[in-house]
Amino acid sequence: MKPVIFGLAGHSLSPDEAAFFKDSQPAGYILFGRNIDTRAQVRALTDSLRDLHGDNRLPILIDQEGGRVSRMKPPEWLAFPPGAAFDKLYDIAPASAIEAARANAEALALDLAEVGITVDCLPLLDVAVPGGTPAIGDRALGQEPLRVAALGRAVLDGLKRGGVLGTIKHMPGHGRTMVDSHMELPRVTASEAELEQDIAPFRALNQAEIGMTGHILFEAWDKERCATHSEWIIDNIIRQRIGFDGLLLSDDLDMKALAGEVPDRAARAVAAGCDIALNCWARMEEMIGIVNALPDISDASRARLDRAKAAIAPVTDWSHQAELIARRDALLALA
């Protein structure tokens, strides 16, 4: 098995993809809007991936946050609110906001589980700051670490109740950045004391099965390498200070924050300590290069992957989704 998660080109596996994936044995897959049409089509696609690997708990990921980051869209699927909706309610009714976030996440997870998606790249635990990059913006759960942690825990709980694992992101924190890492490398000049506040939600939820790095350079910790490529940050901050021992994914390797060819980016991420490199764009030449550049998955990473897969608890009943949505909407109306 190779320590990589790959994207797919279209609505179904092509013969070339099927042959390549069967031979290379990636750790999992991630879906985007280009892979999404109807419920029956997505279920057939995820079934074909599980059949290819003979693995009913194969990690199949998606970015389905709600708001502007939603790969599955109406009218085929429900629309879900962004994190800011729960942050707003928390101002006046914290317990109601937590319950609304939990109900929303469970309802969202039921949509994913129904079509065979097992992992959502949610929640963001990035602590927002005034004037920060719009790339985080209304996706964030708030500007106060304890609030972000409380709402993030509710999201993780709701997703798991709906048969889907969450992914805490973007470690060790994207909220303080002023630019979008999709477009350029963010440099954070904050002090150690300020960064301690940023990592607090990740520390509070460090028992999550899956986490994701951010492509961000933190000058207080590593003046030359972003978190995804920094062995020092992954070991000393993510593994030790945060205490996260779950499966660590890189963020998307195609983002412009990273330099160099994509296969080299993947190799550097794994060498730095990421368990899995994330490659989203399904370009066959790049995927072949990544497989050639990566070693086989390490024993430690394989153990973390196996622990995450074992935590997936499939659901077979989606009949209570409408009740969850009604509960969420009644609570959000309080704000």
Which pLDDT belongs to residue 62?
Answer: 98
Which pLDDT belongs to residue 41?
Answer: 98
Residues of the chain with pLDDT under 50: none
Closest CA to 198 of 185, 184, 209, 214: 214
Q: Is the bond into 215 cis (omega within 30 degrees of 0)?
A: no
Which pLDDT belongs to residue 33?
Answer: 97
Distance CA 176, CA 80 (A): 25
Q: What is the 3-state secondary structure (H, E, C) of the chain?
A: CEEEEEECCCCCCCHHHHHHHHHHCEEEEEECHHHCCCHHHHHHHHHHHHHHHCCCCCCEEECEEECCEECCCCCCCCCCCCHHHHHHHHCCCHHHHHHHHHHHHHHHHHHHHHCCCCEECCCECCCCCCCCCCCCHHHCCCCCHHHHHHHHHHHHHHHHHCCCECCEEEECCCCCCCCCCCCCCCEECCCHHHHHHHHHHHHHCCCCCEEEECCCEECCCCCCCCHHHCHHHHHHHHHHHCCCCCEEEEEECCCCCCCCCHHHHHHHHHHHCCCEEEECCCCHHHHHHHHHHCCCCCHHHHHHHHHHHHCCCCCCCCCCHHHHHHHHHHHHCCC
Distance CA 224, CA 229 (A): 10
Which pLDDT belongs to residue 135?
Answer: 84
Q: Does domain 82-332 have CATH number 3.90.78.10?
A: no
Distance CA 198, CA 171 (A): 9
Q: Which residue type, as a one-letter code, is found at position 51?
A: D
Q: Is the bond into 172 cis (omega within 30 degrees of 0)?
A: yes
Which pLDDT belongs to residue 177?
Answer: 84
Q: What are the structure tokens assigned to 184, written together?
A: 């350029």
Cβ atoms within 10 Å, residue 314: 11
Closest CA to 199 of 241, 251, 230: 241
Tell me the catalytic residues: 182, 251
Question: Could you tell me which residues are beta bridge partners of residue 119?
Answer: 61, 165
**Beta-sheet pairing, 119-120 with 60-62:** parallel
Distance CA 222, CA 259 (A): 16
Which pLDDT belongs to residue 160?
Answer: 97
Distance CA 248, CA 233 (A): 13
Which pLDDT belongs to residue 19?
Answer: 98
Which pLDDT belongs to residue 134?
Answer: 86
Which pLDDT belongs to residue 182?
Answer: 83
Q: What are the structure tokens assigned to 278, written together?
A: 């994330």
Give the torsion through C-alpha atoms of 202, 222, 224, 7, to 10 deg: -20
